[in-house]
Amino acid sequence: MNIIKIKETCLYVRDLDRTTAFYHGKLGFPVIGRVEGRHVFFRAGASVLLCFIAEATRADTKLPPHFGQGQSHLAFEVHPGEYERWKAQIQLADIALIHEQAWQGGQQSFYFRDPDGHLLEILPEGALWA
């Protein structure tokens, strides 16, 4: 038995409009679901990024309650030839790059934050954990 992949991951956010403006408006992730006051879901390549209001999911009675607080980290993998274009898009969207890391083997990744302070990373496919 093997896990194929992580299908979805979630972040807890404070404002769905601000979250949508960032992930859809600035990063271009398609919105695939939204329930006012509860969540907004985005397509992120072959995965799904779930963004929940923690207080709403904490009180859930249909699914097991879940919630969280604090800053999380996600890394988004891009085609190697698109790495520099992603970096330029982030900068053109007035999102501050906070660090660029040179990894062994000459690979690089860069970091930035979303409006809730979650640490996001862009790295070329195959750069790490190959």
| Angle made by CA atoms 46, 21, 8, in degrees to the nearest 5 | 25
Same domain, 43 and 96: no
8-state DSSP, 67: -
Contacts 24+ apart (CB under 8 A), 54-59: 54/12, 57/12
> What is 1-30 written as a DSSP string?
-------EEEEEES-HHHHHIIIIIIT-PP
pLDDT score recorded for residue 55: 92
Question: Does 65 share its domain with 87?
Answer: no
Number of domains comprising the chain: 2
pLDDT at 99: 97
Query: What pLDDT is stored for residue 90 in this prediction?
Result: 97
User: 87: domain CATH number?
Assistant: 3.10.180.10
Residues 38 and 15 in one domain: yes
* Digitized pLDDT (tens) for each residue of the chain, 130 residues in all: 988 888 999 999 999 999 999 999 999 999 999 999 999 999 999 999 999 999 999 988 888 888 888 999 999 999 989 999 999 999 999 999 999 999 888 889 999 999 999 999 999 987 676 5
- The confidence score (pLDDT) of residue 81 equals 92
H helical segments located in 1-130:
16-20, 54-58, 83-92
Whole-number Cα distances in Å, 87 to 63, 90, 97, 111: 38, 5, 8, 10
Out of 22, 45, 69, a domain closes at 69
Its domain, for residue 8, covers 1-69
